[in-house]
């Protein structure tokens, strides 16, 4: 199973192995740059199709996520939210990009990194905005009856400071790993049935085509997942930031 | 291609924990990559989009101002036209009025002249009639004189009373002379 | 009787069990969210956000199961 995720080391700088994954990280950066650069190189008052798509994406993050969830202060977080959205989106789409076929977000490094950044931001903003009452508000919530407060406080404490970043990272990671494994298995199985006879399976074109069709169906499904997971990650980052800015709700 | 033996071997030699714990090199690589993405978005993409939006707003505002100006010009033009049309109308009315006035004076002239002429013709006719009457009266008087002489001759021839005759003739002659004067 | 043996990590079954609860939970949640959106289409944006938030919390259990599967199953 690890074979699907361990890619060969390309070259080594000092002690750091530059593997294909890391090359893909920078390929993702390149793609993000290319999309933004060619979409917005010469912004026109009357946008072309490509510029319109980019503007639509940016507007989606800025208005649909930042302003909708965080409110007027949300514009401060637009650069961060847009960055993670685009990076995750491109990384997710690597899963179904021909010849790459490897979602960088299925390496724990990327989701973990982004989740830690979101975690740092929302904890930091929570303390900066509300001082120590941010912590006390979580551990000793005023809105529940006194008898329930210790219990709810403990649950809230763990949910805020441990479960949130963990689930944020693992959600993205798990979805992409599952998608990648599923796609690889289906397509490899189909391929095996179709073309590789001397194997444990017997040569059977019908099964091969069937597996392939299923693989294509999952392929389309993964497109939706890729977008949805990028959206959910960004949305939840915004929600977490908002909840530490205004802890009363 | 993977074989199930390879798969099995792989899953035995590497523990699943390796999958879920990120490698240090990848964390560093990811951090650098994401920093670059962040810089691109922050330094390039958002300002460009802001610029595009500003441009669009400026363009729209400019277009609307242009349209407003054009509309005002059209309005002004229309007002001008209306004023011109109103002027033309009043002028036409004036011309018609003048023409009517002129026609009326002309008519009055013509009527007066015709009346004068008619009066002149009537006068002349009356003078003619008078003259004719005078000549007729004088002609008739001569004839009456001749006739009365003839009659008198016949009467004289019939009666013989000389003196009475004489007196009668005298009186007649006197009378005749009175008429002739 | 049935001959043969069942092979594979026990953690797989653990993950399968861990996925049941969140599966049911997300189903109920999404269904109710759809109902809410159908009743008040003007509140759809708010409902959708809250739905994703609820799904995120519900999903946490399945995700913890997923992590444990990797840790224990390796």
pLDDT digits (tens, 9 = 90+) for C9-60: 788 888 889 899 999 999 999 999 999 999 998 888 888 888 888 888 888 8
Q: Which of A82, A49, A51 is nearest to A65 (CA)?
A: A82
Q: Can you tell me the distance from the alpha carbon of C30 to that of C36, in angstroms, rounded to the nearest whole number?
A: 10
* Region at A8 (left for phi over 0; alpha for psi -120 to 50; beta for the rest): beta
Task: Report percent pLDDT > 70 for chain B.
Answer: 83
CA angle A139, A144, A145 (to 5 degrees): 110
By the 8 A CB rule, do A193 and A201 touch?
A: yes
Helices A20-40 and B46-158 pack at an angle, to 10 degrees, of: 20
Nearest to A141, CA basis, from A15, A248, A34: A248
Q: What's the total number of domains in chain C? A: 1
Contacts of residue A122, Cβ cutoff 8 Å, sequence gap at least 6? A237, A240, A241, A243, A244
In the predicted model, what is the mean pLDDT of chain B?
A: 82
Q: Which residues does chain A have with pLDDT short of 70?
A: 1-18, 43-46, 195-204, 248-249
Give a yes or no: residue C4 inside a domain. Answer: no
CATH number of domain containing C49: 1.20.20.10
Q: Is the minimum CB–CB distance between A229 and chain B shorter than 8 Å?
A: no
CA atoms within 13 Å, Cβ hemisphere of A134: 19
Closest CA to A115 of C60, C72, C54, B15: C60
CA–CA distance, C51 with C72 (Å, rounded to integer):
31
Query: Domain residue spans in chain B?
Result: 22-171
CA distance A147 to chain B (A): 39
Of A79-88, B30-39, B63-72, B157-166, the poorest mean pLDDT is in B157-166
What's the confidence (pLDDT) of residue B127?
A: 93
Helix (H) or strand (E) segment spanning residue C16: helix C10-39
Alpha-carbon distances, residue A61 vs A65, A69, B53 (angstroms): 5, 10, 16
Per-window interface: A 194-223 vs B, CB < 8 A: 196, 199-200
pLDDT for residue C2 is more than 90: no
Chain A residues 122-181 with CB within 8 Å of chain B = 173, 177
Residue at C6 is within a domain: no
pLDDT in tens, B42-67: 888 888 888 888 888 888 899 999 99
Give pLDDT, residue B45: 84
Nearest-CB residue to B40 (from A33, A43, A80):
A33
Structural domain that includes position C54: 14-73
* Predicted pLDDT at B76: 95
Please tell me the predicted confidence (pLDDT) of residue A121.
92
B33, B44, B46 ranked by CB distance to A28: nearest: B33
| pLDDT given at position B97 | 94
Answer yes or no: are the C-beta atoms of B2 and C55 closer than 8 Å: no
For residue C23, what pLDDT is reported? 93
DSSP string, A100-162: T---GGGSTHHHHHHHHHHHHHHHHHHHHHHTTHHHHHHHS-TTS-GGGHHHHHHHHHHIIII
Least confident of B30-34, B144-148, B176-180: B176-180
Q: How far apart are CA A7 and CA A236, in angstroms?
A: 31
How far, in Å, CA of A244 to CA of B40, rounded? 27
Give the C-alpha distances (Å, rounded to integers) separating A117 from A112, A131, A172, A237, B97. 9, 20, 15, 10, 94
What lies within 8 Å, CB to CB, of C54 at 6+ separation is: C29, C33
Helical residues (DSSP H) of chain B, grouped into ranges: 4-13, 16-20, 24-39, 46-158, 162-180
Any A CB within 8 A of C12 CB: no
Please answer whether residues B51 and A84 qualify as being in contact, where contact means their C-beta atoms are separated by less than 8 angstroms. Answer: no
- Contact call for A232 and C56, based on CB within 8 A: yes
H or E stretch including A10? strand A9-13
pLDDT tens-digit map of B95-127:
999 999 999 999 999 999 999 999 999 999 999
Q: Model confidence at B7, in pLDDT bands (50, 70, 90)?
A: very low
Q: Of the candidates C45, C52, C56, which has its C-beta nearest A167's C-beta?
A: C56
Query: What pLDDT was estimated at residue C70?
Result: 76
d(CA A116, CA A128): 18
Q: How far apart are the C-alpha atoms of B92 and B105, rounded to whole Å? A: 20
Which of residues 37 through 56 in chain A touch B, CB cutoff 8 A? 37, 40-41, 43-47, 51, 54-55
Structure confidence at residue B2 (pLDDT): 45
Provide the 10 A C-beta neighbour count for residue A209: 13
Query: What's the rounded Cα separation, in Å, for the pair A235 and B59?
Result: 33
Does the beta carbon of B4 lie under 8 angstroms from any beta carbon of chain C?
Answer: no
Surface of B (18-37) touching C: CB under 8 A: 18-20
Q: Summarize pLDDT for A29-74 with one digit per residue, the tens.
A: 899 888 888 877 776 666 778 888 888 888 888 888 888 888 888 8
The predicted model scores a pTM of: 0.70
- The closest CB to that of A2, out of B19, B25, B59, belongs to B19
Residue C62 lies in a domain: yes
What are the chain C neighbours of B20 within 8 Å (beta carbons)?
Answer: 67, 70-71
pLDDT the model gives residue A9: 54
**Chain-chain contact of C70 with B14 (C-beta, under 8 angstroms):** no
- Residues in chain A with CB shorter than 8 Å from the CB of B45 are 36, 40, 54, 58, 82
According to the model, what pLDDT value does residue A14 have? 47
Element (H, E) at A17: strand A16-19
Identify whether C7 is part of a domain: no
CA of A34, closest CA in chain C: separation in Å? 31
């Amino acid at each position: 199973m690890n074979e699907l995720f361990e890619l060969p080391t390309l070259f080594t700088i000092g002690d750091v192995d530059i593997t294909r994954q890391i090359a893909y990280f920078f390929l993702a950066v390149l793609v993000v740059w290319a999309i933004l650069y060619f979409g917005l190189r010469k912004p026109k008052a009357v946008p072309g199709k490509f510029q319109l798509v980019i503007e639509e994406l940016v507007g989606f993050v800025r208005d649909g996520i930042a302003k909708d969830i965080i409110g007027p202060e949300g514009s401060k977080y637009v650069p961060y939210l847009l960055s993670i959205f685009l990076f995750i989106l491109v990384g997710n789409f690597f899963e179904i990009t021909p010849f790459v076929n490897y979602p960088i977000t299925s390496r724990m490094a990327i989701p973990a990194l982004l989740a830690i950044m979101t975690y740092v931001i929302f904890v930091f903003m929570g303390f900066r905005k509300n001082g120590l009452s941010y912590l006390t508000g979580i551990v000793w919530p005023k809105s529940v009856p006194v008898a329930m407060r210790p219990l709810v406080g403990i649950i809230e404490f763990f949910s805020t400071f441990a479960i949130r970043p963990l689930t944020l990272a693992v959600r993205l990671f798990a979805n992409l790993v599952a998608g990648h494994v599923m796609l690889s298995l289906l397509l490899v199985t189909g391929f095996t049935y179709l073309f590789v006879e001397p194997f444990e399976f017997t040569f059977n074109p019908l099964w091969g085509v069937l597996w392939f069709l299923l693989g294509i169906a999952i392929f389309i499904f993964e497109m939706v997942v890729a977008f949805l997971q990028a959206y959910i990650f960004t949305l939840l980052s915004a929600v977490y930031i908002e909840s530490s800015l205004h802890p009363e709700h | 291609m993977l074989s199930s033996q390879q798969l099995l071997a792989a899953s035995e030699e590497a523990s699943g924990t390796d999958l879920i714990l990120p490698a240090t090199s990848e964390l560093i690589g990811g951090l650098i990559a994401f920093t670059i993405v962040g810089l691109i978005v922050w330094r390039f993409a958002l300002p460009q989009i802001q610029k595009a939006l500003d441009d669009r707003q400026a363009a729209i505002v400019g277009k609307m101002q242009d349209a407003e100006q054009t509309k005002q010009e059209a309005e002004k033009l229309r007002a001008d036209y209306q004023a011109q049309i109103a002027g033309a109308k009043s002028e036409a009315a004036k011309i018609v009025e003048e023409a009517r006035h002129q026609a009326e004076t002309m008519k009055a002239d013509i009527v007066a002249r015709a009346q004068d002429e008619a009066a002149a013709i009537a006068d002349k006719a009356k003078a003619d009639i008078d003259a004719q009457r005078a000549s007729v009266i004088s002609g008739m008087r001569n004839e009456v004189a001749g006739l009365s002489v003839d009659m008198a001759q016949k009467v004289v021839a019939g009666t013989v009373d000389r003196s009475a005759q004489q007196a009668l003739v005298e009186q007649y002659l006197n009378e005749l002379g009175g008429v002739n004067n | 009787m049935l001959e043969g043996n069942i092979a594979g990590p026990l953690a797989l079954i653990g993950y399968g069990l861990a996925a049941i609860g969140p599966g049911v939970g997300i189903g109920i949640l999404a269904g109710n969210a759809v109902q809410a959106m159908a009743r008040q289409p003007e509140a759809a944006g708010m409902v959708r956000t809250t739905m994703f938030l609820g799904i995120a919390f519900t999903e946490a259990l399945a995700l913890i199961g997923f992590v444990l599967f990797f840790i224990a199953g390796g």
